[in-house]
A = this chain, B = another copy of it.
Amino acid sequence: MPNSSTSPTLGVGMVGYAFMGAAHSQGWRTVGRAFDLPLSPVMAAVCGRDQAKVDAAADRLGWSATETDWRALITRDDVQLVDICSPGDSHAEIAIAALEAGKHVLCEKPLANTVAEAEAMVAAAGAARERGQIAMVGFNYRRVPALALARELVARGRIGELRHVRAVYLQDWGADPELKLVWRLRKELAGSGALGDLGAHVVDLAQHLTGELITGVSAYTETFVKERPLPDGSGVGQVTVDDAALFTGRLASGALASFEVSRFATGRKNALRIELNGSDGSLAFDLERLNELEFYDNTQPATEGGFRRILVTEPDHPFLEGWWPPGHGLGYEHTFAHQARDLVHGIAAGTQPAPSFADGLQVQRVLAAIEESAEKNAVHTPVQAAE
């Protein structure tokens, strides 16, 4: 008899069903098929404002029920975990309410649109933690196997004393002259542009991979195309977010960090590239080749030294126990299954999986310092210290 699994279930309720909702759904759908889990996730209900649309999404993505009000979703008995995939300006309210309703919470990045919101969320998560609830923020790229391996190598001291981090996250959809004034280009809805969307990822990764915090930054931001046609064809409107941001800074150890994010890097589709240089070695990664990690081991003889391309698909690589034989690569969406795996384990064990809401807040503070520096002519601006 199949399906006689006796693991207890974990009902998931998801808010939002656009790009991120689809990606999270794929994670929930597959995580239990790839990994042994202490709890079986059940895709209980999905929430969206428009009944017809949310019904269609549930049917397509495989959710058993729908809600049109997130307040109803977070009180359902069959939901133990609320997965928030709605736009950033809604995160704080939903997450805090869900935590107060006794649910575990997974919240997509960025944690919030402002530091104040993020601080309130951290407070709510802290209170919930004492009641045994788990809150996690969704920086999924931490769980690309190649980046998880990079973190392991750094933690094991393989690159020695850190000198440099350089990271870019480059896309090019902004370079399309026909692009309309979509919501992502309006500050009141999106909070910021490339900075919050792409910059949040590279800030989190730089800190996560190095195990260090960014202590201060200098920044420029720019909006290259200042007017766009309105979506409804009624004329043109102002672009009120950044198209690109450059920022540099220092890490706690004195290492230097350099960042660039842009939606105008023609030909770069999803180029999140990050490189770390240390006294004993270096690591380099490119999301456009996500199954690979480059590693330079400076302890080898100079005549044999070179960046080696590790195909991160071996059974002993992080997360690979659930997938295919060596060389059979994974894709973007697998990161969501990995995130789900670790969250389910955390919930079952009552231990906090990284990244926590506090980690998300810290990223938010870096973003705030970047914006402040950009407004103040690029002057060095300290990042507010975590308490």
Contact = CB atoms under 8 A, between A and B. Distances in A.
A61 interface: yes
B262 A3 contact: no
A183 interface: no
Contact of A327 (B249, B269, B281): B269
A286 to B, nearest CB: 10
A189 interface: no
A376 to B, nearest CB: 8
Contact of A246 (B256, B308, B333): B256
Interface string A311-335: 1011011000001111111111110
A358 B295 CA distance: 42
A324 B332 contact: yes
A113 to B, nearest CB: 22
A2 interface: yes
Interface in A265-314: 265-271, 277-282, 287-291, 293-298, 302-311, 313-314
Copies of this protein chain in the complex: 4
Nearest to A313: B269
A263 to B, nearest CB: 10
A248 B264 contact: no
Contacts of A159: 266
Contacts of A373: 378
A166 interface: yes
A267 B248 contact: no
Given A59-B3, A268-B282, A333 B324 contact: yes
The 9 closest A-B pairs by CB, nearest first: A270-B327, A269-B327, A2-B58, A267-B296, A308-B308, A331-B331, A218-B378, A306-B310, A306-B308
Given A4-B55, A266-B282, A305-B314, 19 more contacts: A2-B57, A2-B63, A163-B264, A164-B244, A166-B260, A175-B279, A218-B220, A244-B256, A247-B248, A258-B260, A266-B281, A267-B282, A267-B305, A268-B327, A269-B311, A295-B306, A308-B309, A379-B379, A379-B380
